[in-house]
Each structure stands twice: as C-alpha cells, then as structure tokens.
Chain A
C-alpha cells in the first residue's frame, strides 16, 4: 500500500514587511513546512507504523530551497519525496487548477491508495487543492478531517469532518481516497536526531513538467495577481472595566444596543 502526502513549503511574513510589486518583499519572508501538512504527514506515518508495509511518499511543488522543508518530512518518517519544479513552473502564477494538474500527474505516476493533504496552506489559504485533486483523479474524498479511523484491511476510512458551527459529520470513505487533514487530528512528532540523519540519505526525486508528461500549458492560468495591499485595520474594541457582573451588564447593554439580542 502507498500513501501520498502533498506537502507545501509556505512563506511566513515578518511582523514588519513591505510590499514590492504584487508580493511581499522576499527579504521579509521565512519558509516553513505548512502546519496542516505536518498533521497529514503524522497521519500517514502513524498508519505506516500501525500497519507496516505502507510506503509514505511526499509530493511538493516548489523550488530547490523547499528541499530543506521536505527533509523535515523525511526526518519524521516519510520514506521518499518527489519535488515538482522547472523553469515553466517557476515562471507561472500557480492556481489551484494548475496544482491539481501537477498533483494528478504525480498520482498517475505513483498510483497511491490514499492521498493526504493539509486542509489549506498557511500562506495563500485557498483550501481547495486536495478536493480539486480528488475530483481530477476520480477518488472519493473527505475534506477537513479531524478524526480518522481505518478498517483493518484499509478498505475504508471512518472519518469525522469538521463543519461550520461546531457540527461534525461522520462519514465512511472507501479507498482509494483523498482526505484533507485538519490541525488537531493528531500530535505531530518532532523529528528525532536519528530520523534527521536517516533523512539525509532518503531520495528526493526532482520532476519537471516533461517528466510528468505535461507541457507549459499545464501551468497556464486565467488568474493573475493584479495587486497587493495591506488592508486598513480598524480598531473597534471596547474594554469593560469592573467586576465580572459589572462587565457582564455593560456587555449586555452593548448587545441590546447593537440589536444582537432583544429586550
């Protein structure tokens, strides 16, 4: 059995940054493993530890720099990694559809039984790639999974999905499937020093568009970024002083005044 985990290296802006053109200046950015993907990696590695005989492969779309992040995934127990990148991809504004085509091609190549992705990426936050990939490759899927159990023969995943308003949906998904993993599903491990050492000799295979049977059209996008600005933040906070009952009375007045509650 094989699990493919899609992993993204996300940019994090410094507290004080400047916008240059349509992006945040490179000097203000630091890169790290996407938090949601960390949970997806942990889920995959735990399945592999529970069942044995499961290969965990990570797939990343990203430049050579992202190998540092990929190594962290390898140190945590991923068996090998795939990194998709070339000049055409670097020149493109990657939208969800383009990423979907790239990952779908990786799935064709690897034929995994289960694809795990983080719910969303911490930087652009589209939250769409996992489900979009499922649609493209024709797998069943479940999004925003915060609890995962599997049948002993790994034919079915019993999942809890986090919906709006604190509601959880309990669903069974037959494999092969795509699950997008929510934070809190598990407790991601720290890489051990032994794991870090072993990661240095694990394979990171570099694939370009041609290796995946694609051409530059695959990363063509009808979407382009036209501007970037920092929204004005309006501070509209009210502080209530006094003992708890006094604060509660003041809060009640405000809620009534704003029409949140009736008299």
Chain B
C-alpha cells in the first residue's frame, strides 16, 4: 500500500510482522465477505474470538494477557483493520480502547482479573455507554443516573437472601444510544451521574447485559458503517453490586480519557481506509482502458492521484508523530483531536475522489471506495464530531472556550 515517504521501511522487525499478520488475516479471513456483511448489515461475529486469539484487542496495554506492543504497532494494526472496513476497526477500538482501557486504567484488581483476559481473548464482548439520545456532543449533560442502594430497601421478601449479597450496590436508570456492539455485548461500561453523592459526579459502572432491567435494542436501517452492530442500552432499575463501580476515576475525565485512546486509533485507521481507496483507484485506472489506453494516463486523473497521495502521506506523517508522542507519554488530547479531525476528513474526501475515479463501477459493492466513503460519514461524526474537534482545537489555540 501507498507509503510514499517510506515510513514503513523504518519500522522495527516486530512492527513489520504485526502489520503483515494483520494484513494477511484481513485479506484472507475478512475482506472476501465484508461487502456481503455490509449489504446485509451484519458484523462477521465469527472473527471476534479469532481476533482475540491474535491479540488484536488493546495489545498496547500492559499485563493481564496483553502482548504489550508499541503504540505505533497498535496504530498499524488499526490502519490495517480499517483498510478493510471501518466497522472492523470500530470493533477493535471499542473492545480495546473504550472497554479494556478504562478497566485497565480505573478498575479494581478483581475487575481487571475478571474482564481483561476474557475481553482480550474475545471470549467476552464489551461496549461503551456514554452518548444519550439528548446528549451527544455534550455528554456531561447526561441524564443516566446511579444511586446507592442498600439491602434493607429492596429485599423485603426474605426469600431474596441471595440478592442481599448485593447490598451497598447501585441502582441505574437511563438510556444510552449509538453504542457500537451493545446488542452483542456481555458487558457495558456505563457512565452515569452518581446522584446520591455530593455534586452528582460522573462514575463508570460495569453492567453485565444479562442483568434484570437491561435492554440493548439494535439500531436498524443505518446507511453507513453497516458491517458493525450498533444499538442502545436501556437501564430500568438495574441493580449492580458495589464491586461493579470503577473505583479509580471520578468525573468526565474518565470517559474522555477513553475517547482519547480510541481517537488515536481512528487517526491511524482513517489512513488505512484512504490507502485502500487509493490502491483500488490506482489498480482500476491503470487497468481500465478508454480511448485506446489506460485512463490513468490522463492528466485530469493524474492530478487526482498526486493530490490523493499527498494528502494520505501528510495524514500518515501525523499519525506516526502521534505514536512517538504517545509512546513517551507526551501526547495531549488536543493533538489527538487534530489528527482525528484531519485524518478522517482527509479519508472521507479521498474516498469520494477514489469512488469517482472508478466511474460507474464505483457505486457497486465490488469496489471498496464507496463503502469506505459511506462508513467515513460515521467516523466523521462519532468520537467527537469534526466540528467539536474544531472547537477543542480552537480553545486550545486561543484559550477561549466556545462551549461556555
């Protein structure tokens, strides 16, 4: 794939092997059927555990069975997954950055031991509940609430002795939406305001989806990111025990720090989608003949190749720089915002150009660019919309917040 300034030549042997393995796995196990899944609106669930066995979920974490690879290797992995389909990368992003990361960073020892190996192996699927129907770009306005619960209040019936073991737990109520994987998840990281505490701070809860009062309805009829399962999480008096609260974080920095991790992966993944579009267009145009020769010989097409390759290369450079900053612990969330904002916009723009370069054939599922283009509408909007990232950068650059 396009690597115009030879960044991949400088990868370590380990990083090259990770890239090659991911590329091979995707080409052989996922790519042949991805257009069918896209059309059917299904995720290839049989690869969830395969990806786990290969270590594709949060491989950059330390311990609990994680291979602990470099941040760049993690980025390369996201790039290869999204070169296939944004839905595939989203699966790995959610499982790794949005579910395993908060458990790893803020969870108790027992939570880590219970969930990290199972999620890492793909034996369990997780989802991340932050967005609500009325609170998208401003999640701090969330209405989902948790209250401390005591055994006396609920177990009037003496036969519910077992339930009383959950004494000093919490009761959750509220609704989350646009939750990747919620219909197939075993556990949800739910962010809620703990109203029984002073100031109603935002706290994270691990909510097993088979608990009474939990529903995870699927969102149908998406026109984008179709090879990815999306749903809601409806919480109706859901009781969770005390040990299900994430003990080590309070406030919005909990969910926001997860999003920084995921957006880092998106900044890399978008480059993968764009590279796939580029290669598809290049292959098509050097092969397709009109007016007595390959259409890639026309200047009007060559200008598109030049611009596409340049934009991809610039985005790629930004992703590589982010990896270095992240590896040494200097990466700021605003820098991730810049990369997410730029790279996804770039991929979305270039996917459209690539689609155009395929002529009429480009509108079928036989070619990837229009699928990428449609997927990238979601990526442009989720994990902080493009515009919200503009405002994050605006605040960082001027010191003046547009939100307040």
Q: With an 8 A cutoff between CB atoms, is B56 at the interface?
A: yes
Q: How far is the CB of B54 from chain A (nearest CB, A)?
A: 5
Q: Is the CB of A199 within 8 A of B17?
A: yes
CA distance A199 to B55 in the complex (A): 15
Binary interface encoding of chain B residues 57-69 relative to chain A, with 1 for a CB under 8 A from any of its CBs, else 0: 0010000000111
Q: With an 8 A cutoff between CB atoms, is A194 at the interface?
A: yes
Known: A68-B13, A190-B54. A196 touches B18 (CB 8 A): yes
Known: A197-B14, A199-B17. A190 touches B24 (CB 8 A): yes
Q: With an 8 A cutoff between CB atoms, is B106 at the interface?
A: no
Q: With an 8 A cutoff between CB atoms, is B361 at the interface?
A: no
Q: With an 8 A cutoff between CB atoms, is A192 at the interface?
A: yes
Q: Is the CB of B18 within 8 A of A193?
A: yes
Q: Is the CB of B21 within 8 A of A191?
A: yes
* Main secondary structure on A side of the interface with B: helix
Q: How far is the CB of A198 from chain B (nearest CB, A)?
A: 9
Scan residues 41-63 of chain B and give those whose CB is less than 8 A from a CB of chain A: 53-56, 59
Q: With an 8 A cutoff between CB atoms, is B25 at the interface?
A: yes
Q: How far is the CB of B183 from chain A (nearest CB, A)?
A: 28
Q: With an 8 A cutoff between CB atoms, is B16 at the interface?
A: yes
Scan residues 63-95 of chain A and give those whose CB is less than 8 A from a CB of chain B: 67-68, 71-72, 75
Contacts of A67 in B (CB 8 A): 13
Scan residues 289-347 of chain B and give those whose CB is less than 8 A from a CB of chain A: none
Q: Is the CB of B13 within 8 A of A200?
A: yes
Count residues of chain B with CB under 8 A from any CB of chain A: 19
Q: Is the CB of A197 within 8 A of B54?
A: no
Q: How far is the CB of A226 from chain B (nearest CB, A)?
A: 35
Q: Is the CB of A192 within 8 A of B69?
A: no
Q: Is the CB of A196 within 8 A of B68?
A: no
Q: Is the CB of B55 within 8 A of A190?
A: no
Scan residues 3-53 of chain B and give those whose CB is less than 8 A from a CB of chain A: 13-14, 16-18, 20-21, 24-25, 53
Count residues of chain A with CB under 8 A from any CB of chain B: 14
Q: Is the CB of A194 within 8 A of B14?
A: no
Contacts of A192 in B (CB 8 A): 21, 53-55, 67
Contacts of B73 in A (CB 8 A): 193
CA distance A200 to B69 in the complex (A): 12
Q: Is the CB of A194 within 8 A of B16?
A: no
Scan residues 89-127 of chain A and give those whose CB is less than 8 A from a CB of chain B: none
Contacts of B18 in A (CB 8 A): 193, 196
Binary interface encoding of chain B residues 205-238 relative to chain A, with 1 for a CB under 8 A from any of its CBs, else 0: 0000000000000000000000000000000000
CA distance A250 to B68 in the complex (A): 62
Q: Is the CB of A193 within 8 A of B25?
A: no
- In the complex, which of the residues B17, B24, B69, B77 contacts A75, with contact meaning CB atoms closer than 8 Å? B17
Interface centre among A71, A72, A196, A197 (most CB of B within 10 A): A196
Contacts of A200 in B (CB 8 A): 13-14
Binary interface encoding of chain B residues 277-297 relative to chain A, with 1 for a CB under 8 A from any of its CBs, else 0: 000000000000000000000
Q: Is the CB of B13 within 8 A of A193?
A: no
In the complex, which residue of chain B has the Cβ closest to the Cβ of A72?
Answer: B17
- In the complex, which of the residues A68, A71, A194 contacts B67, with contact meaning CB atoms closer than 8 Å? A194
In the complex, which residue of chain A has the Cβ closest to the Cβ of B65?
Answer: A194
15 interchain pairs, CB-CB under 8 A? A68-B16, A72-B20, A190-B25, A192-B21, A192-B67, A193-B54, A193-B56, A193-B69, A194-B55, A196-B14, A196-B18, A196-B67, A197-B14, A197-B68, A200-B13
Please name 13 further chain A to chain B contacts, defined as beta carbons within 8 Å, in addition to the given A193-B69, A197-B68, sorted by A numbering: A72-B17, A75-B21, A190-B21, A190-B25, A192-B54, A192-B67, A194-B67, A196-B17, A196-B67, A197-B14, A197-B69, A199-B17, A200-B14
Q: Which 7 A-B pairs have the closest CB atoms?
A: A193-B55, A193-B67, A194-B67, A196-B17, A193-B59, A192-B54, A192-B55
